[in-house]
Amino acid sequence: MTTLALSVEDVTKTFGGTAALKNVSLNVELGQVHALLGHNGSGKSTLIKVISGYHRPDSGRVEVNGHEVRYPTTALSLKAYGVSFMHQDIGLVPTLSVLENLRVGRLETGALRHVRWGMERKTVAKLLSSFALEISPDTPVSRLSSTERSLVGVVRAFQDVSGRDSSGEEGGLVILDEPTAALPEEEKKRLFKVIKEVAARGVGVLLVTHHLEEPLQFADRVSVLRDGELVESGDIKGHSYESLAELVVGHSVEMSKKTGAREFGDADEAIVVKDLSGVVLNKVSFSVKVGEILGLTGLMGAGHAELPFLLYGAERPESGSVSVFGKPYTPDPVRARSIGLAFVSGDRIRAGGVLTASFSENVTLPVLHTMIGRLGWLPSGKEESVVNSILRQFRIRLTSPHLPFSTLSGGSQQKALIGRWIGSGPKVMLLQEPTAGVDIGASQDIIAMLREFAGSGGTVIFSSEQYEDVASLSDRVLVFRGGGIAAALSGAEVTPENILASSYGRLEASMSASH
């Protein structure tokens, strides 16, 4: 009898009339690494959420290891079926040891429920060596390299499924969601070598990834989702980077044209960046003109998201130089403000608004200094009029501006955070993912806000992986890969299709020809 690790049959899932998955069928066999490809919005995440029981499919069925998944399901019952996940953020506790991280919740206990540490240590040492990991079980996770952490995450995911042997069941399914997001090239190879070896012992692996070279090197089979449809599911043999890119991007790579492009031929340079390096970015150089909207994009971890951070000085650049309006500038938030740079972080919860402070306090923060009266007194009337004008101008809906910021919807929060900076009259707006996690109405409002800001002479630099928004907002787009600029699109070239194709390295040749 051959049981499949995963069998998805004819699954359809719609959200408010839009089909996120259309009749998707997909099998993962035991002992194989099966890669799942697809760009943002292709339905990849929805499929994973259906398998993990988070979304109930409208029709179709999902079986793992021969057990049908019944909705609503729980993490516990999935675990009993032999399914385990490794998410991008891995979820290890840095202060605890490798042993504790691996074994918490399943520690062997003896009389009086004492933990048999000696036995545990042996078990974990054996487990680690079977994954070719040479670390002591007692090492705190905080001392591990990022690769070792990923590997410990993988070990943890695999031990859950292989530990089921005692119950007489065989096999299992491990779902790895972008396990390499933070790893350098050499280390990825090491990780995948281990994954492949362990899978070969009889576990099915579903590898969700953006990176096309990974399935080519390590997967046995590959499936590609595009706009909710499965456009390919088969053997990796016979595929090339080009054929996979074509499947993911979904059109032959001829350039499409954007209408109504703006030109900035003779405008002054607002910001010039030379050889800037950070955690991911490696010697990046480019410049932006006054009034221009520059979009930075790429696949996750390509380096684009780091740039607004570095330019604003939220993080220290490793090296390189930046000049703003012709003057050299060392990034630092306090100085940034004084020379007219404003920054809206992609991390709205931690680094955006202060959730416990009121809406009014949050939006007036950047302009408080303009309303200081005698003896430093802030007149509340002036504050109210600033709040009112921001509410009107950006069409934000709320019950009272004196309620905590946390009571607003994500879209209203984002509009308020962008609006408060625009209202403070900056020369350059730096943004990360300005339209992520907000509803479509708000994201259109945000695009309109930034357009208007640029129309009145402001410069915008933003990073985003929402390639459709990047296309509709940007005058020029830099596409990043592996910490460097892989392609530059400008004028009529700025279309969603071209951005997507360049992210996968499919337009490099034609681009360099056109420049």
Partner 1 sequence: MISLNKDSKRAKSAGNAAVGLGGGVDEEFRGAVPGRSLALSTPKEFFRHYTVVLALIVTIVVFGILRPQTFLALSDVKTILTGQSALFALALTLTVALGAGEIDLSVGGALGFSSVLIAYLSAVRHISVPLSLAISLLVMLAVAAINSFLIVRIQVNGLIATLAMGTVLDGLSQAISNSSTIGNIPSRILKIMQGRFLGVGMPFWYAVLVGLIIWYVLHHMQSGRFLYFTGEGREAARLAGIRVNRIRTISLFVSALGAWFAGFILVGQTGAAQAGTGDPYLLPAYAATFLGAATIKPGRFNPVGTFVAVLLLAAGTTGLQLFGLTDWVTNVFDGAILIVAIGLATLVGR
Residues 301-320 that bind partner 1 (CB under 8 A): 305-306, 309, 312, 314
CB of 461 to partner 1, least distance (A): 15
Is 415 near partner 1 (CB under 8 A)? Answer: no
| Residues in 364-383 at the binding interface with partner 1, rule: CB under 8 A | 365-366, 368-369, 372, 376-378
What values do phi and psi take at 189, rounded to 5? -60, -45
What's the DSSP call for residue 217? H
In DSSP notation, 106-172 reads: ---B-GGG-B-HHHHHHHHHHHHHHTT----TTSBGGGS-HHHHHHHHHHHHHHHHHGGGGGT----
- Write down the residue that tokens 């042997």 correspond to: 165
Among 7, 32, 46, 180, binds partner 1 (CB under 8 A): 46
Region near partner 1 per CB under 8 A, out of 166-174, 254-262, 284-292, 395-403: 395-403
Token pair belonging to 132: 């070719």
Is 71 near partner 1 (CB under 8 A)? Answer: no
Nearer to partner 1, 309 or 504 (CB): 309
Is 413 near partner 1 (CB under 8 A)? Answer: no
| Residues in 7-26 at the binding interface with partner 1, rule: CB under 8 A | 15-18, 20
Nearer to partner 1, 81 or 421 (CB): 421
Among 3, 88, 243, 282, binds partner 1 (CB under 8 A): 88
What span, in angstroms and rounded, lies between the C-alpha atoms of 83 and 174?
A: 6
Nearer to partner 1, 68 or 439 (CB): 439
Nearer to partner 1, 81 or 309 (CB): 309
CB of 162 to partner 1, least distance (A): 28
CA angle 434, 146, 221 (to 5 degrees): 80
In DSSP notation, 452-481 reads: HHHHTT-EEEEE-S-HHHHHHH-SEEEEEE
- Longest CA–CA span in the chain (Å) reads 85
User: Is the four-CA dihedral 94, 98, 100, 105 of positive or negative sign?
Assistant: positive
Nearer to partner 1, 1 or 375 (CB): 375
CB of 45 to partner 1, least distance (A): 4
Is 41 near partner 1 (CB under 8 A)? Answer: yes
What span, in angstroms and rounded, lies between the C-alpha atoms of 365 and 355?
A: 13
What span, in angstroms and rounded, lies between the C-alpha atoms of 98 and 104?
A: 10
CA atoms within 13 A on the CB side of 172: 25
- Taking residues 345 to 364 in sequence order and writing x for each that binds partner 1 by CB under 8 A, - otherwise, the string is xxx--xxxxxxxx--xx---
Region near partner 1 per CB under 8 A, out of 256-264, 440-448, 472-480, 492-500: 440-448
Binding footprint of partner 1, residue count (CB under 8 A):
72
Nearer to partner 1, 120 or 306 (CB): 306
Cα dihedral value 370, 315, 321, 467, nearest 10:
-90
Nearer to partner 1, 357 or 509 (CB): 357
Is 441 near partner 1 (CB under 8 A)? Answer: yes
Is 184 near partner 1 (CB under 8 A)? Answer: no
Nearer to partner 1, 39 or 258 (CB): 39
What's the DSSP call for residue 71? S
| Residues in 460-479 at the binding interface with partner 1, rule: CB under 8 A | 465-466, 468
3-state secondary structure of 272: strand
| Residues in 251-290 at the binding interface with partner 1, rule: CB under 8 A | 279
Among 40, 73, 130, 243, binds partner 1 (CB under 8 A): 40
> Using an 8 Å Cβ cutoff, are 14 and 40 in contact?
no
Is 126 near partner 1 (CB under 8 A)? Answer: no
Nearer to partner 1, 104 or 372 (CB): 372
What's the DSSP call for residue 391? H
CA atoms within 13 A on the CB side of 30: 19
Nearer to partner 1, 45 or 130 (CB): 45
Nearer to partner 1, 432 or 495 (CB): 432
Region near partner 1 per CB under 8 A, out of 161-169, 213-221, 249-257, 435-443: 435-443
What span, in angstroms and rounded, lies between the C-alpha atoms of 416 and 401?
A: 11
Is 179 near partner 1 (CB under 8 A)? Answer: no
Nearer to partner 1, 16 or 118 (CB): 16
**Nearest of 304, 268, 226 to residue 463 by alpha carbon:** 304
Is 339 near partner 1 (CB under 8 A)? Answer: no
Residues in CB range of 43: below 8 A, 6 or more apart: 20, 21, 24, 225, 227, 228, 229
Bridge partners of residue 272, in order along the sequence? 287, 323
**Nearest of 9, 2, 454 to residue 270 by alpha carbon:** 454
Nearer to partner 1, 272 or 398 (CB): 398
What span, in angstroms and rounded, lies between the C-alpha atoms of 466 and 338?
A: 31
Is 509 near partner 1 (CB under 8 A)? Answer: no
CB of 54 to partner 1, least distance (A): 12
CB of 400 to partner 1, least distance (A): 4
CB of 96 to partner 1, least distance (A): 18
